[in-house]
Each structure stands twice: as structure tokens, then as C-alpha cells.
Structure 1
Amino acid sequence: MRYFRIRGEDGDRLAVQEGDLAYDLTAANRSVGSFRDLAAAASIAGDSIDAVTERLLDRAPTVGTAALEDARRPLDPDEVWAAGVTYEISEQAREAESGMPEMYLDVYEGDRPEIFFKATAGRTVGPGEAIGVREDSDWDVPEPELAMVLYGGEVVGYTVGNDVSSRSIEGENALYLPQAKIYDRCCAVGPGIVSADAVDDPHDLGMSMTITRDGETMYDESTSTGEMVRSCEELASYYTRHNAVPELAVLLTGTSLVPSEEFTLRPGDLVAIDVDGIGRLENPVVTV
């Protein structure tokens, strides 16, 4: 099942898409007003989120699927974390931008993955909202990623993520990574959340990214999550290890596609990321 946050006359509501129909779960039970509420109910019941949803569908009215096209950010994560150097193309790009390339190869080939803090809910935008590039950076890129949604440290769903980054700041010094990664509008997620039960294999999903500027295609490439050198389970394990994780979090699984070194994002660009079976996330670009 695929879950969306939609706009209602009395505020945001949680909807679920099943086949060609969409249902208003909040109308079925007012205590289920968000994906967090649904995940909490499933945790208390010791059941999956889809099983809880099934028990609500008989009472849930249908809504037009057009409402899903105007969906908002699907959740308000307490924290967003990210994994780095999980694809060979990412390892090569990080080596190219850095004066210490060997450390990225060590991470790519090492036992321990790179896991770093990325954003809070206030720094994260949803579909159709503008992602940001720093005014003090002159080389900025989108980073398309499969994103895991975790409740209490357990993977309950998947969405599409964009880990927008300053390559010039990170490349200047590895200790500048937080500034290259964490700032206003530095992350986008959405448009919906697909339950973990509905994803047969997160390591076998096609992924593509297009970047357009003034109607011209500046970048258009595709790959597969099968190219990821780490497993989702491994990344989640390291994220939760010796870490008091928050109730609801997003963990980005690594950069799968990297534009050429000659490319940098500009205000007005439009970035679209597609992950098969998960969704399409589109965001314009502004300077922050």
C-alpha cells in the first residue's frame, strides 16, 4: 500500500492508495491523522501498518486520486539521516572532489558504512516545494536516493529522497561535511510512502533522475538500487547501533546518480527523481 498526506477542509489527512482507488483513513478513525499515528497504532498492536489499514478500509470513504497528485510531504520526521559512498559512482565522485580521495575508498570497501545526520523536519521539503542551494557554494548537486522510513528503529516503509549537497564545500575539507549537507531546504522526500510489506526487494528497483533548465534537459540518467554495495538492513543496523533513535526517522541509502563535474544546480532548475514502485519526486530549486 502507498500512503499520502493530502489536504482536507479541516487540515491534513492520511490517505492510502490501493490499486486504482484511494481512501481517507482519517475519516475512518480521527486518531489516524498522519503516518506517524498509523505507525504508532501498528506498533502497539504488534502488527504491520498494512494490516491496521485493512481494518480501517471498510469505514474509509474513497477520495479522488487527483488529491494524491497534490500530496504534501508524507511525514514529519524527527530526524533525517543519510548513508554515504554506498554506490561506486558516489565513491568516484567523492574522490574526484576531495584532496583526500583514499578515505572515500576506505569507506566504500570498509566494514563500517558512513552514516551521518542530514536534516530535521524543518529543513525538509515535500513534492513540489523548492529545494535549496547555498549562496556560499558554487558547485551544488541533487542526490537521488531510496529512503527508508523507520518507526522505533524498524523499517516500516520506503519513499524517494533527495540529499541536496554542496560539493565545493565538502571537497574543500571533509570536516566541512555538515555545512555541505545540513542547511535550509537541503532535503526532499515524497511523494508518498510505500509500506515495507509492499516492496518485494528494495535492492532491485529502477531509479532515474532528470534535471531541466528553461525547458532544456540538462541531465537524464538511470540506474538500479541493485548497484548499492550495502544492504538496507545493514544501513539500518548501523544507524540504530548504540544510538537512541527517535520515534520516526528517515534514512537515505546513498547517492545512485551523479551529474558530471561541469554541472551545478541553478535557481529555477527542476529536479525529478523516479524510483520504480515507490514514486516520482519533483522539486524546483532556489538559493538559500
Structure 2
Amino acid sequence: MIPHSNPNPDATFVGRVWRPNVGPCLVVLRADQVIDITSKDAPTMRDLLERDDVVNFVRAAQGDVIGTLADVTRGSVEGAGEDVLHFLPPTDLQAIKASGVTFAESMVERVIEEQAAGNADHAEAIRKKVKSSIGDSLSGIVPGSEKAMEVKAILQAEGLWSQYLEVGIGPDAEVFTKSQPMGAVGWGASVGLHPMSSWNNPEPEVVLAVTSAGKVVGATLGNDVNLRDVEGRSALLLGKAKDNNASCSIGPFVRLFDDSFGMEDVQNAELDLKITGDDGFVLDGHSFMNKISRTPQSIVDQTVGRHHQYPDGFFLFLGTLFAPVQDRDVKGQGFTHKLGDVVTISEPNLGALQNTVRLSTQCPPWTFGTAALMRNLAARGLI
């Protein structure tokens, strides 16, 4: 699938690509042309997004046409090397954070994972029990509200309270580190599952681009690859469940906020998910941002402030409504990935992010980090 043809002339899409014999470059998408706008004024995505005039700067930027969108797409298939023009994730120096348990429906699935202790065989029976007790009572509840605390008291009395419900309807959002700066992968790359996992799924999400001042300046798509069995064993294994080689994909482009696109569009975004397997399995899923329990801005506000600074800004996954309950092989076990699955996450305003599922040990190792980027930019005379 082509990532995006930018049919809206008012939309401003920026991203990063790898240019052979050059290295990482900032690009803007104009019609179907990919244009390198890397400069001393904006050598990194961090520097670009920190500009007060970012939209006007990008629109006025002169650069080199390095190919069409189709050209970059063709080079971005699995295993693309340094000798091929290909997509990189649109992040570089920014922290990569994620918020979890932000939708009532997927929140119930987290409770099921916990009750099942990561064992998919127990999921269906627990799902029936939990849903019979909770039902739709969590829908529409404002986290931290008086009503939410009443529901908490009832669930505690029934022995159904969970750490996932605490962050789902309690006052404090769950925000964790999804990946290290420079550690995500982009469109077309392999996404990795830790070999220890046998119960896992994609998580289609909107990802916000946030400056060091806490200002949201754009949005993109992300796959917060999720190891249900690992996290279900213990929430203290969240780092092992979430942050592995190639376990975070972002892209293909950041759509900058302007008069044609902003936070209201994010809050009303409708994401489609399609998984196609080598075994002929097809799954279609959806995530509707208007069903989120916390507003995106409130999650940003809980992430950055006097309590925590991000001098290079951050990208923030907003969570997903998608709950993978469709059985794939064994009745009652729901969905889990198989190697070779192609995952496509799409949204009309943001394009499409596509990746192929492998083991994290099979994905190309992460070798180009912050130090390598700095050396590359210095050699090019950009810093």
C-alpha cells in the first residue's frame, strides 16, 4: 500500500528517509514528490519541530527532489539496506512515550490478560466473567471523576479491581517509555516480537509530535506492538513486553498542525487495521478516537511539565480501542500473530503505516543511534 499521495494541497507532511551515501534526511511530501529539506537551520526532526514557524518554514523550504513517493515505497521493503533509498521513522532525537489503557473496551482486555496471568487458554472464560460484572459500565466515565471513584469502590467490593482499571478510570494516566530515541522503525520495515512471546497483537494508534515546551505540533501513526502474555504475567514486565528490537513502528509522515488539521481532527480520527497472514488469515479492526476516555491533551499534560522535561521533545502514542478477540486458531484464545503477518494501519488524514511481523531476533539489529547521527551530520557540515 502506498503510504499517502497527499491529495490535500493544504496538508503539510514531513518525514525522514535514508539516502544512500548521504544518511538520514528530512523530507517534505509535495504531491507525489519527496523533497530533501535538510539544512543547517533544521538538521534533525527535533530541530524542525522545535521551530515556532515550522509550517511556514517547511512550506517555503527549497530542496532536492530525491524521488517519488512510489520510489521511496519500493525501497522500503523488509531488509532495506544503506544502499537503498527508504523510509525511516519520522522521529530522531525525541523520546518515544506511550499511554496505555485509554479506552474502556481495551481496558477490559487488559484486565483479562492480568486475570489470565498471560495464559491465552484461560482468556475466554475470564472474558465472560469480567464482562458480565463490568459490562458497559465503564463507557463514558471520566477518569478521576466522582462517578469513576464510585465504580472503583463497587469493583473492589466484588474483587474485580485491577491495576489496569486504576490507570484506566483513576486520576493518573499510564505513560511509559515505548522505545529509545532513534530506536523505532518506519514504513515497510519488519516489526519484532520477542521470541519468548506466544500471545501478542498489534496496537494501531495515533501518535502525537510534542515539542520540549509541551506543544503538540503534529500527528502520525504508530504500531505499539504488544506482548499480551508477557505483560499479563506481571505489569512489572512492561519494559520487556514493550521495548524490544523493532517493536515500535511510526510513520510514514508527521502531518503538521495548521488551519486544515489539528487536535480536533485527532480526537475524531478513525483508524483502520488490516492483518493478512501467510496462512490466509485476514483480520480487520478499527479504533475510534472519539471513544477515548482521556483527552489527548490531558495525556500530554500528564507527560510533560514541571515534574518532567523533554528537552528534545517527544512522540506520544495515545492508546487504542482495538481489542484482539477474534479467534485465529484455537477457539477461545483470540488472536495472536504469526510470523509473516502484514500489518497495515491507516487513517484518511494521516496515510498508512505498513510493516511485516518477525521475531525481534530476526529483524535487522539497531546500530545507528544518536552518536552515529551526530557524526553523520557533522561530516555533512550540518552541525
**What's the counterpart of residue 199 of structure 2?**
139
**What's the counterpart of residue 269 of structure 1?**
341
**Percent identity (aligned):** 29
Determine helix, strand or coil for the equivalent of 1:90. helix
**What's the counterpart of residue 250 of structure 2?**
189
Indicate how the Cα distance of structure 1 residues 215 and 157 shifts in structure 2: closer, same or farther if over 3 A, else same: farther
Please state how far the C-alpha of 1:171 moved relative to its aligned partner. Answer: 1.0
- Cα distance in 2 for residues equivalent to 1:8 and 1:19: 20
**What's the counterpart of residue 148 of structure 1?**
208
Determine helix, strand or coil for the equivalent of 1:116. strand
Out of 312, 330, 339, the position equivalent to 1:247 is 312
**What's the counterpart of residue 132 of structure 2?**
none
**What's the counterpart of residue 65 of structure 1?**
69
The letter for the 2-side match of 1:253 is: L
- Cα distance in 2 for residues equivalent to 1:30 and 1:106: 46
Please state how far the C-alpha of 1:119 moved relative to its aligned partner. Answer: 1.0
Moved more, 171-180 or 84-93: 171-180
- Cα distance in 2 for residues equivalent to 1:123 and 1:13: 16
- Cα distance in 1 for residues equivalent to 2:272 and 2:161: 27
Please state how far the C-alpha of 1:103 moved relative to its aligned partner. Answer: 2.6
Mapped contact 1:274–1:281 kept (Cα < 8 A): yes
Indicate how the Cα distance of structure 1 residues 148 and 101 shifts in structure 2: closer, same or farther if over 3 A, else same: same
Out of 261, 274, 277, the position equivalent to 1:213 is 277
Mapped contact 1:268–1:285 kept (Cα < 8 A): yes
CA-atom RMSD in angstroms: 2.1
**Structure label with greater radius of gyration:** 2
If the length of structure 1 is used for normalisation, what is the TM-score? 0.88
- Cα distance in 2 for residues equivalent to 1:205 and 1:68: 26
- Cα distance in 2 for residues equivalent to 1:125 and 1:21: 22
User: CA offsets, 1:200-224, max 9 Å, x none?
Assistant: 3210111011111116243112232
Out of 172, 197, 200, the position equivalent to 1:112 is 172
Determine helix, strand or coil for the equivalent of 1:37. helix
User: CA offsets, 1:205-246, max 9 Å, x none?
Assistant: 110111111162431122321111111110110000301224
Mapped contact 2:207–2:315 kept (Cα < 8 A): yes
Out of 346, 349, 352, the position equivalent to 1:280 is 352
Indicate how the Cα distance of structure 1 residues 179 and 12 shifts in structure 2: closer, same or farther if over 3 A, else same: closer
Mapped contact 1:123–1:183 kept (Cα < 8 A): no
Match status 1:95 vs 2:111: yes
- Cα distance in 2 for residues equivalent to 1:35 and 1:224: 28
Mapped contact 2:91–2:182 kept (Cα < 8 A): no
**What's the counterpart of residue 173 of structure 1?**
234
Please state how far the C-alpha of 1:252 moved relative to its aligned partner. Answer: 0.4
- Cα distance in 1 for residues equivalent to 2:112 and 2:93: 32
Please state how far the C-alpha of 1:6 moved relative to its aligned partner. Answer: 2.9
User: CA offsets, 1:115-147, max 9 Å, x none?
Assistant: 112110353211111111111122111111100
Please state how far the C-alpha of 1:85 moved relative to its aligned partner. Answer: 0.8
Higher strand share: 1
Moved more, 116-125 or 138-147: 116-125
Indicate how the Cα distance of structure 1 residues 269 and 21 shifts in structure 2: closer, same or farther if over 3 A, else same: closer
- Cα distance in 2 for residues equivalent to 1:15 and 1:31: 14
Please state how far the C-alpha of 1:187 moved relative to its aligned partner. Answer: 0.8
